[in-house]
Structure 1
Amino acid sequence: METRLRGITGMKQKVIIKSNKYGLIVHMDPDAEYTEILKELREKFTESARFFKDATMAVTFEGRILTKPQEEEVIGLITDVAHIHIVCIFDTNENTERLYKKVVEDSLNSLTRKEGQFYKGTLRQRQVLETEQSIIILGDVEFGATVVSKGNIVVLGAVRGTVHAGATGDRNAFITALSMRPHVMKIADIVSTHTYLQDETVRPSIARLDGKRIYIDPLENLEW
């Protein structure tokens, strides 16, 4: 069932928020000023913070194209005001609800099983993030950056650096990202460099181990 969060009846709304089990769709008036959008976003998410109750969700933006800094600002606002853990952003041309379901449920299962954690921000060159738990990164992993996790790695953004999931030998670990172009990828003891990746894609994808090879599959092609 879809839930719609609306403002005062009779007034033109600059922001309409729609929520389902797996994520949010935030529609923004393309003709409104960006500052007005931010103001109404803050008001609506402040009013509805209790409704979400620290939910873990994916998000889609509709109505207008945001720049990268604007997108980061909006995500930060939603996270800070409503305390929503956003694990993924999808474009409206994707099969969003199925992708929401796959990414969010895999992430939640990982967090529940291994007491995972969130990291907010982009990892840049020479930065190294190591964790005993599964990790959800709200940003990119740029070329030259490294993420090492004993559990799963979920990236709300692009992977261009080095990522190592299942670092202590967990061959069931996975890596998920919105754009999967790693320099080096490793799951358990199996390494796949840029040259050997089966699919270099800017679509939401998941990397998993099958035998002695790492395969990357678009999330929308998975069966569940």
Structure 2
Amino acid sequence: MLAFGIVSLAGLLIDFLCLVLAGSAISSEIVAGRWTLLRLTTLSSKSIVSAKHASVRLRYWPWLHVLAGMRCGVVVLLALWNLDTLRYSSALDVFLIIGLFILAAVPYVIEPFWRTQAMTSVGLFFSALNRSTALTVLTAVFGLFALWLVQAVIVGSVLFIELRAWISLYDNLPEVRSMWPTFIFTSLLIISFWLLNYSFYDQLERRSRRRILRRLAMSDV
């Protein structure tokens, strides 16, 4: 639990780092008058924003790999911690449990890459919205907490509905209490959880990029 808490805290710090680094990517160019020069080139605003996004990601890329490595360590520790529980299980049960573990562990390790992709776009949006870097960072911090809350509500609500449906089936239909139905439902629950998170990040990035371009198009710079 301690290792999981440390890794979770590291993930929050990476989120904050994304927003801080992206917070001045566009606003600093606008304040310095360089954005007008960029717009005079043959590059479109979309290309410039994509380049800014990539440059910000390069700055925290090594730390992102450190976080992924830490998550791999948590996965290994969790596997070793539960190794003794498999000793008295049948071969089929062991196979199914390992399958579920891999299904949950792989997205857990790569999830920071999805999240930081979206968080960088959010930071760029706040950078396009405000001219002050300090105000951008302050806005981004409050926005970050709001995003975590929205994500928790959406994902938690869907998973709660799925769990309620499974509990109802489990109580009323004894035949679903065997290993295979439990395995199938747990697999669907894990897949739903990660698909919801990925979809949330994907939509967040797409909407942020559209709003960046819209904000820049409406600006007088």
TM-score, shorter chain, exceeding 0.5? no
- TM-score normalized by structure 1? 0.29
- TM-score normalized by structure 2? 0.29
Q: Which has the higher helix share?
A: 2
Q: Which has the higher strand share?
A: 1
